[in-house]
Amino acid sequence: MAASDIRPLPFGSLVTAMVTPFTADGAVDFDATAALAVRLVEDGCDGLVVSGTTGETSTLEDQEKEDLFRVVAEAVGGRAKVIAGTGTNHTSHSVEMAQRAQRAGADAQLVVTPYYNKPTQAGVLAHFDAVAAASDLPIMIYDIPGRTGIPISTETMIRLADNPKILALKDAKADYAAVTRVLANTALDVYAGDDGLTLPWMAAGAVGVVSVSAHVATVQFRSLVDALAAGDLAMARKIHFELDPVVRAVMTHIPGAISAKHILRMQGVLANSVVRLPLVEPTAVEMEPVLADLAEAGWDFSAGTTR
């Protein structure tokens, strides 16, 4: 395929859902955030989610979020898409955050299904339409029923695709049949929302992944996404298997925000692994399976790696 035939992606193809670095006393570390964003982009990310779940959005103040959007846009704007996590379970609050994100220079927004309220599908549709109307930013919808309490039905997703500002879906409900129907019946750019499902989702037609594990294995994830985009399934399968223990380490034992920060600290990327309550740093016992998975991947952090 010629370079001229490749359709530009408004959200990128390898998107890392960034952690939010904090100082030792728990304040947002904007300098560390900018440095992390630059590192991720230089290692292969063409999109970054700022203040998403992994960014501990639930414990960030609105002004902190807006400042984070601005800092990351200033650090990597023009080199990667800055996707602001604006969604809440309060529609007017989500509208406000969409407007703040546009003001701060974000390129797009990630909007999660309203959580806790458990609205009907009609309410889900009205919520996303209201947020879409509030700014000029294109939307990636985030469907993660394990956190929100409800899925977006396939029929609702197909209807949402008619909204000209809704361009993408981050699918994190691990329903291959549902994502196949969305791919077959809409023009949405679909992203794997589970790191370990990048290969099957892209094999079906997804354009990339929104990843947590890519924090610590950016180059490998870049190679995986590129191999799949090129149709090189043999190479993609090889990389997928190599990444499997890394994904398990980051995603299956403790919350991803905690594990990603801890591993980044062990890699020397972050000065600390501070998280905000109700998250807490892991104990040595909790880190044992994480370290075992990393060792399986050939990463040796066996000495001095826990608090």
Q: Would residue 116 show up in a list of annotated catalytic residues for this protein?
A: no
Calpha distance 120→182 (Å, rounded): 20
> Measured in whole angstroms, how far is the alpha carbon of residue 278 from the centre of its chain?
21
Cα–Cα distance for residue pair 84/128, rounded to 1 Å? 15
Is residue 44 a contact partner of residue 218, using CB atoms and an 8 Å limit? yes
**Cα 125 to the chain's mean position, in Å?**
22
Task: Report the SS3 class of residue 40.
Answer: helix
Bridge-partner residues for 142, per DSSP? 112, 170
Rounded Cα–Cα distance for residues 299 and 141 (Å) = 34
Kindly provide the b/e burial profile for residues 258-297, where b requires at least 16 CB atoms within 10 angstroms of the residue's own CB: bbbbbbbbbeebbebbbbeeebebbeeebbeebbebbeeb
Single out the residue of 83, 136, 143 nearest to residue 115, CA to CA.
143
- Indicate which residue of 65, 142, 191, 261 is catalytic: 142
Residues 160, 79: Cα–Cα separation, whole Å: 29
Q: Is 142 a catalytic residue?
A: yes
Closest CA to 69 of 32, 108, 27: 108
Q: Could you tell me if 57 and 28 are in contact, meaning their C-beta atoms sit under 8 angstroms apart? A: no
Do strands 47-50 and 166-171 pair parallel, antiparallel, or not at all (unpaired)? unpaired
Q: Which of 65, 81, 170, 261 is catalytic?
A: 170
Q: Which tokens is 111 given?
A: 């909007």
Q: Is 306 exposed, middle or buried (0-12, 13-18, 19+ CB in 10 A)?
A: middle
- Catalytic residues, which ones? 142, 170
